Structure 1
Amino acid sequence: MEKMIKKAVIPAAGFGTRLLPLTKAKPKEMLSVVDKPIIQYVIEDLADASVDNILIVTGKGKSAIENHFDRNYGLENKLKEGGKTELLNIIGKIDNLANIFYTRQKQQKGLGDAIYCGKEFVGKEYFLALVGDTIYTGNVVQKMLEVYEKYRCSVIVLERVPKELVYKYGVISGKEIEEGIFELDDLVEKPSVEGAPSNLIITGAYLLSPKIFDHLETIEIGAGGELQLTDAMKSLLKEEKIMGVEVDCTRYDIGDIEGWLKANVEIAMEKIPNFKDYLKEVVNK
């Protein structure tokens, strides 16, 4: 069967201010989680779902992202000379993960504007959009593709959070039509706790209709003085159906130091033998 979703956009232009001073000279998307940078996890999920044409929307000071996914012939030759075949294979896989393209967001005008930077790249196709600072322990890309194949409309990934935290996120309301799958009827960006329509939040993983670009052109500046993708989806909802799929894995939002440390510790416990035992020793000291 012909692959229907062929392209993805990854917004990665933010300053990472909540992670300063760690991100003063290093993109937050390039912070390591155990053995690789955050954005590599994102691209691996796309590649595993056979989505291999990816546009990364960057900004000033983000050249490390491009360097990471480019070939480094000097390093390759050094590893070959040293007989370090295993390491050579590891970096070779990074070089061949996907066809990666880059564009710059000229001004910091929000997630909606960053997505809009991908208009020419996407064209008239449905496409995926994943923020560059969030990791999932399951492949939510594949989950969105499965829902899209059934309902042929935009799909977003949702997560339940404690009601007192909804003010931090975009929040949806909708009808659960299958277990964990919702047909949306409204979206609200950063509502008050009292005014939130549910505790189901938008996590930063989207499969979007190309018509989203028309709505990004016409919506007004929203919360935080930025062009909000949630507002554009709310507008799109008036003419097209949008589905939501509730996440059935762990999500790591690496927007601050606590989130980054939690991701490292929990993923290290899964990847590194005896690391959990080491942590128990540290806690019991």
Structure 2
Amino acid sequence: MAPAIKTIVFPVAGLGTRFLPATKAIPKEMLPIVDKPLIQYAVEEAAEAGIEHFVFVTGRGKNSIEDHFDRAFELETTLEATGKTEALEGLMNSRPRPGQMSFTRQQEPLGLGHAIWCARDVIGDRPFAVALPDELMHGEPGCLAQMVEVYREHGGNVVAVQEVREEHTSRYGIIKPGAAEGPVSEVRGMVEKPAATEAPSRLAMVGRYILQPEVFGPLAEGRRGAGNEIQLTDAMAELVGRQPFHALRFDGRRFDCGNKVGYLEANLAIGLERDDLGEELRRVLARHLA
């Protein structure tokens, strides 16, 4: 039986330049979708999948992420004293238990692969998950929970994929699929950000991974790939053929909150589903679309 996935890495060291000036002093992972920051959605998705240890690879100016998951004594005391029990419970439920969080620094912006490598001593020799928080996955069960089920059946490595338009393959890591059974495909190869004419498929990896610790071997070599960065895709490609490797077309919706339109769409979609907001939000949208 494959070892359980109990640890996840959140690479959160990026500068968020697409959202400047909003992200000058606020990490992009702390931008809210309605009333919760992006990073909290990702942590809740991981917890639903049975993951218990949350590892954040941070950079300068990211202290507010750590603060968000810490206690806020003054705020909690004020909420309790004023009888705002619902808000207080929301704060308490969003906080991982003591000892569940680890923080390490990526001191140079050398790419996603380098960010994952920075967590190597925390991960050790155990399989682990990775989630990119600006990819908001929305569905029940969550994307990571679906991936854990695939991992339990097949072991090895699992990536979440989604079909993208041909002209967008150069934005993603693209897999070469093999035999498929329902939404699960074997992975026979992968390439980072290929031109449409060179892409082995249109199945793009979209920010959720379950990986074996052997991936740290090629990452440690520090080889540069696309964009002159240390690419996680290149390291994973070396595991293909040596270990089981599968891709899951997950059941749910993906919002690319790394760009402005995707971020706005996520706010609208989540807001429209809310019992306390949906009806009024529809009226507001109707006025603007009239």
Using structure 2 for the length normalisation, give the TM-score: 0.94
Is residue 269 of structure 2 the alignment partner of residue 266 of structure 1? Answer: yes
Is residue 260 of structure 2 the alignment partner of residue 257 of structure 1? Answer: yes
Deviation at 1:260, TM superposition (A): 1.2
Question: What code does the residue aligned with 2:131 have?
Answer: L
Deviates more, 1:128-137 or 1:272-281: 272-281
Correspondence for 1:126: 127
Question: What code does the residue aligned with 2:189 have?
Answer: D
Correspondence for 1:282: 288
Deviation at 1:280, TM superposition (A): 1.8
Deviation at 1:2, TM superposition (A): 10
Q: For the aligned residues, what is the CA RMSD?
A: 1.6
Question: What code does the residue aligned with 2:264 have?
Answer: L
1-structure distance, mates of 2:55, 2:191 = 27
SS of alignment partner, residue 194 of structure 1 = coil
Q: Which runs of 5+ in 1 are unaligned?
A: none
In the alignment, is the contact (CA less than 8 A) between 1:19 and 1:28 conserved in 2?
yes
1-structure distance, mates of 2:122, 2:178 = 33
2-structure distance, mates of 1:251, 1:283 = 24
Once the two structures are aligned, what percentage of the paired residues are identical?
39
Deviates more, 1:15-24 or 1:96-105: 96-105
**Change beyond 3 A, Cα 1:36–1:167:** same
Question: What code does the residue aligned with 2:170 have?
Answer: Y
Deviation at 1:177, TM superposition (A): 2.3
Is residue 179 of structure 2 the alignment partner of residue 169 of structure 1? Answer: no
- 2:227 aligned to 224, 228, 251, which one? 224
2-structure distance, mates of 1:2, 1:218 = 27
SS of alignment partner, residue 171 of structure 1 = strand
Correspondence for 1:240: 243
- 1:44-102 Cα shifts (integer Å, max 9, x gaps): 00111120211010000001101100000011111111111111111011123681111
In the alignment, is the contact (CA less than 8 A) between 1:219 and 1:232 conserved in 2?
no
In the alignment, is the contact (CA less than 8 A) between 2:7 and 2:53 conserved in 1?
yes
Question: What code does the residue aligned with 1:95 have?
Answer: R
In the alignment, is the contact (CA less than 8 A) between 2:184 and 2:247 conserved in 1?
yes
After the TM superposition, list the runs of 4 or more consecutive aligned residues in structure 1 that deviate by more than 3 angstroms.
Answer: none
1-structure distance, mates of 2:43, 2:134 = 11
- 1:182-217 Cα shifts (integer Å, max 9, x gaps): 101110100001111100000010000010101212
Deviation at 1:125, TM superposition (A): 0.8
Correspondence for 1:13: 13
Deviation at 1:161, TM superposition (A): 0.9
Q: Which runs of 5+ in 2 are unaligned?
A: none
Is residue 71 of structure 2 the alignment partner of residue 68 of structure 1? Answer: no
